[in-house]
Amino acid sequence: MASSPEDNTSLSSEKVMHPESSQAKKSQRAEEAAFYMNCRAAYLAVLKSSLENIKSKEQLRLVLQQAGRNPSQKTVNKYWTSQTTTLNFDDFCTILREEKPATKNELLEAFGKIDKDKTGYILHDELYRILTTRGEKMTEDEVNAITEQADFNCGGKLDYSKFCDLYMTTREQCCKTARERLELDSRLKQQQFGNQAEPSSEEITLPVSKPSPRVSRKSDRKLPAAKGDSRTPSRPSSAQSCKASISTTISVAARSNRNTKLIEPDTMKEWHCAQSKGCFYLEEDGEIVSHKYRLHVPQRSTVCITIKPLNIHQEEGISCHWLSVDTALYILKENESQENLQLVSFTEQQNQEVCGWKGELGSGVYWLLPFTTGCRLKKVKTQITEEAELVYRDEDGELALTPEFRAALLDIFETIDLDGNGLLCLEEYNFFELRTSGEKCDEEAWAVCKENFDMRRNELTRQGFMDLNLMEANDREGDPSDLWVTLLSLGYNKALEMTEACPFVINIYAEKCKPRIKAMYLEAGSSQLNRAVCKSVVRKGEAKVLDGCENVIVYTYSTGGRVTSVIENKSENKVIIHVNNEQSKNCLSNRGLTVFAVEVAPKSTMVSQHVMPLNEQEEWLYNCVHSLGS
């Protein structure tokens, strides 16, 4: 890709040597390698390949148990929701990072709450009563299986310290057995580490997965990328130990020094305009859900399409965490059917937070697929010191919404009012219902709403929306649990901050006709979107063939605001590609780690990573080495 003064980027390629790591970095790498080994061993103890998906709750429970976890039904339901159909290896790695195994001290502390006198024992009768009546209730046979174990039971009592010791030993033995099984299978071993016999911790560097629960670059807990036809295991191995490698370097100026690319001429003010709002929502597993749109262009016309994060706060002075989230649109032409879509272009031009595309569109139907890399919209665990109050009782003893909750509801209303007319039609309200409850409101239920809540032209007003939520609180006699389910599903935390969602607004300007845009779906990134991202990078990016491996090509595309790399595997076999970003400066990857690996299925193309600047006001350097596992 040639450099240009427009984006102040320069591209060079060279072979690089892997630098010596500090002791701390080696230690961290060894920990990452051990974690990955355990993930893979557990996964392959249940499934035949890391390319095979988990297809049921029971399989999820089994692989978690193989990894030394003891998942409750609540934990399984947390990751396998009503909308889940499969989970891949990356999802599994993400879950294991979230679900830490219980320590012996934690177990002893839990038993200690039952053993009030601190005797070290719990009577079987008391244990039976608790285990069969509280939490996820156990059966009589399940409790007997515990109390009949001679190793930690005597005289009708359970020695819970001995129980904890045996529990920890059994858990470690389970993990050890899975690792040994993996090591004995030479085929699986080659799948993991190539031909390396016993890789040292220095040689092992690791990958990532879906753009999920990640914190900052400095954090150990990072989760990666997007679902596609292939997988990105969190896998170790440095570029040093690989035979074929290529290096790509891109230097990008600070945002304030980059030339503005997207120019919206004054004449566009006279053009026909259509607008719709929408939102990115972050799922529990890091997957990103968003609205998808159908665009109708009645006749051939020059068109300008833009997308940007939307400030929906009704009050001034309140920070909007999501305004720094990157947004883009992929424009696809419908040919005869919705399944047959052809990539037209994407919004690669940028002016501050506005991302746009300008060109000519023929008459017909198009699909607009919103996209964000996951570099900035990601899970971040924050310490909430105090949970916000949602309802209270007024001086008459009646339930009322707190001012803070009312403000949040107004912001939610602004987000789900897609056409911006200040009212919610049934279709807009149904997107809200699908997101928060998974169900739709039919015409009959909508008629009931019309009888009980303030409506105008058969559309729900802001006051009606407030009253509807107050009714839900009254139905629960003030219990805010259901209200919190709604808020959390819409990206709010317990401090009523929207931290896991990003509202956006789309504008379409057409010179010669009146365009029409309509939100059709609210769903996770589809295979169509994944293909569009890959195709756009292949079409516009710089291609580099891995030395000595003509069947593996790495495409890199830079827009000035982000860099995306895509790997194409033309061979008949899957390949493992190691990715090293350690020489990058001021960069944030959607993968979460600086060193990782991806497993690319035969005859497929997949995104390697998206990279953006940590601080847009400073220059940033993308320096990435892609290496073929030996």
Q: What is the mean pLDDT of residues 567-581?
A: 93
d(CA 489, CA 473): 17
pLDDT for 195 beyond 60: no
d(CA 623, CA 600): 21
Most confident of 8-22, 177-191, 277-291: 277-291
Place 386 in a pLDDT band, splitting at 50, 70 and 90.
confident
pLDDT for 98 beyond 80: yes
**What region does 18 belong to: left with phi over 0, alpha with psi -120 to 50, or beta?**
beta
Q: Which residues contact 415 (CB under 8 A, 6 or more apart)?
A: 277, 279, 310, 312, 490, 501, 503
Which pLDDT value is given to residue 309? 95
d(CA 195, CA 191): 9
Contact in structure between 261 and 496 (CB atoms under 8 Å)? no
The verdict on pTM exceeding 0.75 is no
In SS3 terms, 198-253 reads as CCCHHHCCCCCCCECCCCCCCCCCCCECCCCCCECCCCCCCHHHCCEEEEEEEEEC
Structure tokens, 172: 């470690």
Structure tokens, 627: 């290496």
d(CA 222, CA 262): 34
> What is the amino acid identity at position 298?
P
Which pLDDT value is given to residue 10? 37
Which pLDDT value is given to residue 224? 36
Q: Which residues contact 272 (CB under 8 A, 6 or more apart)?
A: 509, 510, 511, 513, 514, 515
Place 511 in a pLDDT band, splitting at 50, 70 and 90.
very high
The residues pairing with 620 across neighbouring beta strands, listed in sequence order, are 252
**What region does 164 belong to: left with phi over 0, alpha with psi -120 to 50, or beta?**
alpha
111-156: per-residue pLDDT in tens? 888 888 888 888 888 888 888 777 677 788 888 888 888 778 888 8
Nearest Cα to 307, choosing from 533, 519, 508? Answer: 508
Listed range (149-153, 340-344, 542-546) with the worst mean pLDDT:
149-153
Q: What are phi and psi of 64, to 5 degrees?
A: -65, -40
d(CA 207, CA 626): 12
> What is the amino acid identity at position 395?
E
For residue 618, give the 3-state DSSP assignment. coil
What's the half-sphere exposure (Cβ side, CA atoms, 13 Å) at 380?
18
Q: Which residues contact 555 (CB under 8 A, 6 or more apart)?
A: 537, 538, 541, 542, 543, 544, 565, 566, 567, 568
Percent of the chain with pLDDT over 90: 42
CA dihedral for 72, 75, 80, 81, sign (positive or negative): positive
What separation in angstroms does the CA of 313 have from each of 162, 413, 488, 596? Answer: 56, 10, 18, 38
Q: Give 582 or 560, the one with higher predicted confidence.
A: 582
Q: What is the mean pLDDT of residues 365-392?
A: 90
What is the rounded average pLDDT for all residues in the chain?
Answer: 81
Structure tokens, 65: 């148990």
d(CA 582, CA 589): 11
Which pLDDT value is given to residue 223? 33
Determine the distance from the C-alpha atom of residue 377 to the mean position of all C-alpha atoms in its chain, rounded to a whole number: 8
Most confident of 50-59, 65-74, 415-424, 438-447: 415-424
Nearest Cα to 361, choosing from 301, 427, 273? Answer: 301
Contact in structure between 294 and 367 (CB atoms under 8 Å)? yes
Which pLDDT value is given to residue 321? 79
Which pLDDT value is given to residue 622? 94
Give the neighbor-by-neighbor strand order of the sheet with 595-600: 10-12, 244-252, 620-628, 575-580, 595-600
d(CA 605, CA 591): 17
pLDDT for 500 beyond 90: yes
- All domains in the chain, ordered by first residue: 10-18+223-257+537-628 (no CATH), 383-498 (1.10.238.10)
Q: How many helices (H) and strands (E) does the chain have?
A: 15, 27
Place 192 in a pLDDT band, splitting at 50, 70 and 90.
very low
Helix locations, 391-441, DSSP H: 403-416, 426-436
Contact in structure between 408 and 444 (CB atoms under 8 Å)? no
Q: What is the mean pLDDT of residues 597-618?
A: 93
Which pLDDT value is given to residue 185? 58
Contact in structure between 547 and 532 (CB atoms under 8 Å)? no
Listed range (36-45, 160-169, 231-240, 556-565) with the worst mean pLDDT:
231-240
